[in-house]
A and B are shown apart, each in its own frame.
Chain A
Amino acid sequence: MKITEKEVRYVAELANLNLSEDEVGKFLHDLDDILVHMDRLNEIDTSGVEPMAQVLYDAEETATLREDIPRVTLSNKDALANAPLFGGGYFKVPEVVKR
């Protein structure tokens, strides 16, 4: 095993996921499979290959930039349309304990 149950629970907590005991066992295996696969990829010699974060690269300068011109925004009504709770133009969420 490349990963422990403790690590699965830790990652789940970071992702705000409540996993059942069954799910912990399931993800333990799923994540282990992924890590085993990573190990296989690691067998490839990549020395001299530049790390890549994206398949797209611009040539000299980023050509995909946006000009600084404001466009029409969503109305407040549309912005809040999917909110389970709202009031006074705001989204409402259960009281946040300041972290």
Chain B
Amino acid sequence: MSSTFAELAPPEIVARYEPVIGLEVHAQLATATKIFCSCPTSFGAPPNTNVCPVCLGLPGALPVLSRQAVEHAVAAALALNCTIRSRSQFARKNYFYPDLPKGYQISQYDQPFSEHGWLDISVDGATKRIGVTRVHMEDDAGKSVHDGFKDSDEYTYVDLNRCGTPLIEIVSEPDMRSSDEAVAYMTEVKQVLQFVEASTCDMEKGHLRCDANVSVRLKGTEKLGTRAEVKNLNSFRFVKAAIEYEIARQVAILEGGGKIHQETRLYNVASGVTVGMRSKEDAHDYRYFPEPDLVPLRIGDAWRERVRARMPELPSAKRARFAGSYGLREYDAQALTATRAMSDYFEKAAAVSGDPRAAANWVMGDLLGALNAAGKDIAESPVSAERLGELVALVRTGALSGKLAKDIFPRMIETGEAASAIMDREGLRQISDSGALDKILDDVLAANPKQVEQYRSGKTAVLGFLVGQVMKASRGQANPGSVNDMLKEKLG
């Protein structure tokens, strides 16, 4: 069954239903080593080389929890406004799969290290609070390779490098009511995790992925519908598309008088549909029990507060401050707080420039344009924040015209030089001084007697042409404002 949303259920029918969505977001913690052993977490190593007896699940090997993983997890949980349990417990989640050599995942069950959080999202200008049920720590499984080998029809290949990679699972309340809200929530989670540097959230490397729990109910009804869980969505686009497909699928079933089965489904990237996973009825009997190889985790007040003290300003607070103290529009504040590197860059540039709004325009316009064209991140910008700030300041003080600044900027991108260095070398400086402009103006007026005549006979629109001539004659260095005023005076 491959069909578009509209074929499944027409939009006007879907509109009668209210989707109820909760997300389970998995994020890889930014540690150098695995959660329970000292193997590196480096990406792209040859198969089965980042492994040891612990993560291979060899008999007798014992896990030892990483302090850094705990600190990242606590920072993430605090940023998600969660309370931290002073004592939590790891638990074994038992199931058999070849990429899980221990036969169980070490996770947290009835005593996660944090719970009761929330995150505000903004959709179409409206702010909405999404509850965070809990955040817990767990280890990742290995990777099964089902295709690509000559005997792939007979064998599955297993790489255990990823086994034991530290993860947090962030479980939301079923508070979202549209795919857009789900995407906004995941975007906000990503931003928060990146700000506290708990995770790089590199989605191409699978550092951030989510499972979506989706159900629908007729608008105006209270009772929750039966939900389906769509597993392992690893891009914002897939989150949106999978949820929309799932909503339409469920509506179509209900409209046809059918029933939704509680099940786990996979989103097929190629066809854009979700497909039920063949699962045994008892597949969800994980027989959790407390992990006997690990002592309960103690996170005392002092430790929690040390982590909190190291946390940077969070995106929501930063957005509010940028809008308030710099007078930026909401859209600009949002864009400039997308990453910590971006917001740090902007703040430095704004401070040097003395004109934060102009600095904001430069960062979002010329700078990001040039960086995008070069495929570079703002952290790799050839123009430092200080130098961009200086350029903006030169415009602010009138030493450079806006036009000259735009001409100089590409050269700064090319060479990384300061604007003032380029100006000095090339003799570029805005001429506002009437003495210096006087001669140029007289030359231009003498060379264009016809236009002078026209102006004097009342066709004042011709002034623009004369200003243009002066700008040209001065190689763009004349201050257009001064030129305007002086021309009027001379012609009047």
A residues adjacent to B (C-beta < 8 A): 10, 13-14, 16, 53-54, 56-62, 64-71, 73-76, 79-80, 85, 87-99
A95 and B278: CB pair below 8 A? Answer: no
The 7 closest A-B pairs by CB, nearest first: A53-B290, A68-B68, A71-B38, A90-B157, A65-B67, A91-B158, A89-B47
B51 and A79: CB pair below 8 A? Answer: yes
B160 and A88: CB pair below 8 A? Answer: no
B residues adjacent to A (C-beta < 8 A): 31-33, 38-40, 46-53, 56, 64-70, 89, 94, 96-98, 144-146, 149, 151-160, 277-280, 282-283, 285, 287, 290, 292, 294-300, 302-303
Given known contacts A65-B65, A96-B98, is B155 in contact with A85 (CB within 8 Å)? yes
B295 and A57: CB pair below 8 A? Answer: yes
Kindly provide the distance from the CB of A36 to the nearest chain B CB, expressed in whole angstroms. 20
Q: Identify whether the interface residues of B are mostly helix, strand, loop, or mixed.
A: loop
A66 and B49: CB pair below 8 A? Answer: no
Inside 8 A of A60's CB, which chain B residues have their CB?
298, 300, 302
Given known contacts A54-B295, A65-B67, A68-B68, is B46 in contact with A89 (CB within 8 Å)? yes
B157 and A87: CB pair below 8 A? Answer: yes
B154 and A94: CB pair below 8 A? Answer: yes
A13 and B98: CB pair below 8 A? Answer: no
A61 and B51: CB pair below 8 A? Answer: no
Report the bound CA distance from A38 to B285 in whole Å. Answer: 22
A61 and B300: CB pair below 8 A? Answer: yes
Report the bound CA distance from A13 to B282 in whole Å. Answer: 9
A14 and B156: CB pair below 8 A? Answer: no
Give 6 A-B pairs besides A87-B149, A87-B157 with Cβ atoms closer than 8 angstroms. A14-B94, A54-B292, A69-B33, A87-B155, A89-B47, A89-B159
Inside 8 A of A71's CB, which chain B residues have their CB?
33, 38-39, 52
Report the bound CA distance from A27 to B51 in whole Å. Answer: 37
Among the interface residues A70, A80, A89, which one has the most CB atoms of the partner chain B within 10 A?
A: A70
B153 and A95: CB pair below 8 A? Answer: yes
Report the bound CA distance from A79 to B39 in whole Å. Answer: 13
Q: Which of A54, A75, A94, A98 is within 8 Å of B155, CB to CB?
A: A94
For A16, give the chain B residue with the smallest CB separation: B96
Q: Which of B56, B98, B292, B298 is within 8 Å of A58, CB to CB?
A: B298
Q: Which of A16, A57, A64, A87 is within 8 Å of B65, CB to CB?
A: A64
Given known contacts A64-B65, A65-B66, is B298 in contact with A92 (CB within 8 Å)? no
Report the bound CA distance from A66 to B66 in whole Å. Answer: 5
Report the bound CA distance from A95 to B153 in whole Å. Answer: 7
Identify 27 residue pairs between A and B in the complex whose beta-carbon atoms are under 8 Å apart, listed by A's number: A54-B296, A59-B298, A61-B299, A61-B300, A61-B302, A62-B295, A64-B65, A65-B66, A65-B67, A65-B70, A67-B67, A71-B33, A71-B38, A74-B53, A76-B47, A87-B157, A88-B149, A90-B157, A90-B158, A91-B48, A92-B155, A93-B156, A95-B146, A95-B153, A96-B146, A98-B146, A98-B277
For A58, give the chain B residue with the smallest CB separation: B298
For A68, give the chain B residue with the smallest CB separation: B68
Q: Which of B32, B52, B155, B296 is within 8 Å of A57, CB to CB?
A: B296
Inside 8 A of A75's CB, which chain B residues have their CB?
49
A99 and B283: CB pair below 8 A? Answer: yes
